[in-house]
Structures are given as C-alpha cells and as structure tokens.
Amino acid sequence: MKHLNFLTSEKAHPGLLLLIALGVAVFSIMLPGRFLTDSTFMSMAFQLPELGLLTLAMFIAILSGGLNLCIIATANLTALFIAWVLLNFMPAGAGTGLQLLWLVMALVGAALIATLIGVITGLMVSRVGAHPILVTLATMMTVNGIGIWLTRGAAVSGMPDVVRALGADTFLTIPLPLWLFFATAGLMALFLGKTRAGKCIYMGGSNINATWFSGVNTHRLLILVYVISSLLCVLAGLVMMARFNSARMGYGDSYLLITVLAIILGGTDPNGGFGRVTGVVLSLIALQILSTGFNLLNISQHFSLAMWGAVLIVVLGLKFFKTKFTHSRAVRRSTLLARQAGLTKKKEV
C-alpha cells in the first residue's frame, strides 16, 4: 500500500531544499546587509513555531483524509482559558515555580476543552458521516462565537512572567518556541511512522473502508485524529499568547490558508494517506523565508495573501497533472507488457 511505501522511503525533498537555498540567495542579493543578519533569522525563529504547530494540527487531519477548519478557533479559545486561569486565580506575586505550576494546571484544563472539541468533531465525522469540511466549519463558528461572547471581542492581556518568557527567551541561542515546535514535530514523526495507530492513520487516509474491513476501528481512529489535532492547537495557542502577551479570538486568522499551502507544498496528498512531517517542516521553513523577505521588501500583506492563494492553486494543478501523467504512463506500460506477453505466447505455440 502507498502509505507503507512512503514510510519506508529514504527519499529527501530536493525541491524544497532548492527553494530554501534560492530564497536565501535571492533575498541576500536583493537585501544586502538586511536579510543575512542575526536579527532577521531570530525573528523568523520566533515567528515559525505558532504557524508550525497549527500546520501540524491541520496535517494530521488531512493525512487521515479529512480537514480541520477549527484549528485557529481552538487555539484562541484555549489560549483565552489559560489567560483567564492565570490572571484570575494565580496568587499575585507568585514565584517562578508557582507560576509554572499554575501554567501546567491551566494547560490541563485547556487540553480538556480541546479534547472535547476533538471528540465532538470525530464523532460527527465518523458516526454521523458528515463531511469534515462541514463539521469543522460548524465547530469553528461555534467556538468563535463562544469565545467572542465570553470576551466581547476584547483581548485579554497582561500575562505573567513565565508566559512572557516562553515567547521571548532562548535556550542555546535558539528561541524556546522553536524548541517546542521541533520537539512536537519529532514526536509526531515518531508517532506516525513507528506506532500502530500512526500507520492506521495512513491506511485510513488511503482507504477508510478497506481499513475498517482489515479490523481497525475507524470510528475511534478518526476521533483520535481530531483529538490530537485539537491538542496541538493548545500548544499553538500558548505560543501565540506568549508572543503577543495577550489572547483574543481572531489572532492568526490568516494562517488557515498558509497551513494548507505548507502541507500540500510539503508533498502531502490532499486526499489523505500520503505525507511526511519532514516535508511539512521544510515547506514551513521555505514559506517563512519567503514571507520575511517580502516583508523586508515592503510588499503588502494583502498581496502576499493573494500570492499564497495563487501558489496553492498552482501546486494543486501541478499535482493533478503529475498524477494524471503517472497514471497514463502506467497504463501504457501495462498495455505494452501485455502485448509482449501475448507475442511471447504465440511464438511458443
């Protein structure tokens, strides 16, 4: 099956590596003394994790053959819950150790909220049989409505020191959020590639009915997928809250399109069953380099957003024609082999 061939493949991502190299080279020439600087790369390192964690949340849903439009709403709602707990219940003047303890307790509560969202989404997709786009669109609207109603659309700001440190501090000159992103990406790669559940996700994305008849409980599998996706949103919400020093419904709304673009650009099949975490990480690095370069060139963010959409259309078109060409070539090859076998039989007779 294609997911097993994919897992055992040692093939790298030369196209993405070339795109990264070209991006660095072009922006270094166009922006001498501005792009290849410590401050630029440090800025990219702080910006990448929040988009990266949201992309991983979308990635596992797409890998299973579905989609999760609720990732940003879930991230913002759980961030609001964490902020509410820390600002209303944590004792004033608490030390670093006590702040960490309260942060962990707030994260546990946020994880419970995310799990509830994931379970409801998974049940609707697996048991009711509703399309993931419709289900996650409904959950996105519901979660957004709840968050805006509770906060009246305002931002909750003034985070404690432990949260601000997560968004600003470094370890071995690498930002803490980037460590969190790489650790999460590594764990997800191990989960998908080495565990039975991970391999079943690939199988379900390839053919959900065949996976069911092979003895896998696909209902539980889809619930697991959307629970994991929602839990990754908790980490993304924490990182966004730490970087902005506030939480609000509406943060990161522009990321939804870019997460899908990064996943498709990283080689993931939009129909599910095929994709690698390494490809997603490399595509995120490439997109971050392009985004930073465009910002330094003072290109409008609205134009950049339109360009991301156009790139996604082009990538999907190229994938379609590549698949069609590969299929037609395989048909021609099988026809030729059949003819050769027929000629061989006639000669033997």
- Which among 240, 97, 96, 92 has a CA at the least distance from the CA of 155? 240
- Which among 142, 141, 119, 122 has a CA at the least distance from the CA of 130? 122
The mean per-residue pLDDT over the stretch 4-32 comes to 72
pLDDT digits (tens, 9 = 90+) for 190-208: 999 999 999 999 999 988 9
Rounded to whole angstroms, the Cα distance separating 292 from 68 reads: 27
Phi, psi of 274 (to 5 degrees): -150, 125
Residue 163 carries which side chain, given as an amino acid letter?
A: V
Q: Is residue 344 over pLDDT 80?
A: no
Rounded to whole angstroms, the Cα distance separating 86 from 161 reads: 11
Number of C-beta neighbours around residue 95 at 10 A: 11
Mean residue pLDDT of the chain comes to 87
pLDDT score recorded for residue 343: 58
Work out the pLDDT band at 295, boundaries 50, 70, 90. confident
Lowest-confidence pick of 257-261, 290-294, 305-309: 305-309
Locate 108 and state its tokens: 């546990």
The percentage of the chain sitting over the pLDDT mark of 90, rounded to a whole number, equals: 50
**Residues with Cβ within 8 Å of residue 326, at least 6 apart in sequence:** none
The burial of 81, by beta-carbon neighbours within 10 Å (0-12 exposed, 13-18 middle, 19 or more buried), is given as buried
Locate 223 and state its tokens: 């619930």
Work out the pLDDT band at 1, boundaries 50, 70, 90. very low
Of 295 and 185, which is predicted with more confidence?
Answer: 185
Handedness of CA 313, 227, 114, 118 (dihedral sign): positive
Rounded to whole angstroms, the Cα distance separating 218 from 116 reads: 19
Cβ(27)–Cβ(296) under 8 Å? yes
Coil, strand or helix at 291:
helix
Task: Return the H-helix or E-strand segment holding 310.
Answer: helix 301-348
Of 21 and 309, which is predicted with more confidence?
Answer: 21
Rounded to whole angstroms, the Cα distance separating 84 from 238 reads: 13
Task: Return the H-helix or E-strand segment holding 157.
Answer: strand 156-157
Rounded to whole angstroms, the Cα distance separating 326 from 269 reads: 15
pLDDT score recorded for residue 9: 38
Cβ(230)–Cβ(57) under 8 Å? yes
The mean per-residue pLDDT over the stretch 77-85 comes to 95
Residues 149, 140, 238: CA angle, nearest 5 degrees = 80
The mean per-residue pLDDT over the stretch 24-34 comes to 89
Work out the pLDDT band at 330, boundaries 50, 70, 90. confident
Q: Is residue 11 over pLDDT 60?
A: no
Lowest-confidence pick of 104-113, 221-230, 329-338: 329-338
Work out the pLDDT band at 328, boundaries 50, 70, 90. confident
Work out the pLDDT band at 70, boundaries 50, 70, 90. very high
pLDDT digits (tens, 9 = 90+) for 311-324: 778 777 777 777 77
pLDDT score recorded for residue 158: 86
Q: Is residue 232 over pLDDT 80?
A: yes
Rounded to whole angstroms, the Cα distance separating 290 from 294 reads: 6
This model's pTM is above 0.95: no
pLDDT score recorded for residue 138: 95
Cβ(9)–Cβ(275) under 8 Å? no
pLDDT score recorded for residue 34: 87
pLDDT digits (tens, 9 = 90+) for 163-185: 988 888 888 889 999 999 999 99
Rounded to whole angstroms, the Cα distance separating 249 from 80 reads: 8
